[in-house]
Amino acid sequence: MRVLVTGGTGFVGCHSVAALVSQGHQVRLLVRSRDQVARSLSPLGVADVESVVGDVTAPQSVEEAMAGCDAVLHAAAVYSTDPRAASRVRETNPRAAEIVLGAAVRMGLDPVVHVSSYTALLPPQPPDAVLTPDSPVTRPAGAYSRSKAESDQVARRYQEQGAPVVIVYPGG
């Protein structure tokens, strides 16, 4: 299976790339720059992964990167706890989810995996609830957490429409 990975040079993304490659999948990365690819993947024993330069907020580059792929793992996100970056985080992450997941669904990719954060489910509702993948998306504090909650709402909307979208919540 050929899998497009966004965010493949980040922490969760690069480990996901290594796992996909170890299982025999062909991986293509959508990256803003090829400079980080070797630095992120070489320590994990991954070399010679195809990469396409583009941006997850540019529909045309996302669709071009997806061409010929069977599945997508969307792990790209702007992560920052710096209040000066709050507007960039809040604008980029939900928009990227809409563009990447939307293109994947339109192009018939399956599965479409959206990497979220358990912070999208905080605080739990009701307050004493145990978090599960079916927990409601909340309005968490902080720009990053809020952006992940808004991104989850995008993914869940596609799920409600019957699209093969899977949401994962890596632990900290």
> Which residue, chain included where needed, has tokens 């809020």?
146
What average pLDDT does range 130-137 have in this prediction?
Answer: 92
Model pLDDT for residues 67-111, shown as the tens digit of each residue = 999 999 999 999 999 999 999 999 999 999 999 999 999 999 999
Res 129 pLDDT > 90:
yes
- Report residue 2 as tokens: 């050929």
Count CA within 13 A, CB hemisphere, residue 169.
Answer: 18
- The answer to whether 17 touches 87, Cβ cutoff 8 Å, is no
What average pLDDT does range 110-124 have in this prediction?
Answer: 96
In terms of Cα–Cα distance, which of 71, 66, 69 is closest to 56? 66
What pLDDT, on a 0 to 100 scale, did the predictor assign at position 172?
65
What pLDDT, on a 0 to 100 scale, did the predictor assign at position 146?
96
What average pLDDT does range 28-34 have in this prediction?
Answer: 97
Tallying the residues shown for the chain, one arrives at 172
Model pLDDT for residues 134-163, shown as the tens digit of each residue = 999 999 999 999 999 999 999 999 999 999
pLDDT-derived band at 56, boundaries 50, 70, 90: very high
Topology (CATH) of 2-168 = Rossmann fold (3.40.50)
The DSSP output letter for 50 is E
Report the alpha-carbon distance of residue 144 to residue 40 in Å, rounded: 22
Res 133 pLDDT > 90:
no
Q: What does DSSP say about strands 112-115 and 26-31: parallel, antiparallel, or unpaired? A: unpaired
Res 65 pLDDT > 70:
yes
What average pLDDT does range 9-13 have in this prediction?
Answer: 96
Res 62 pLDDT > 70:
yes
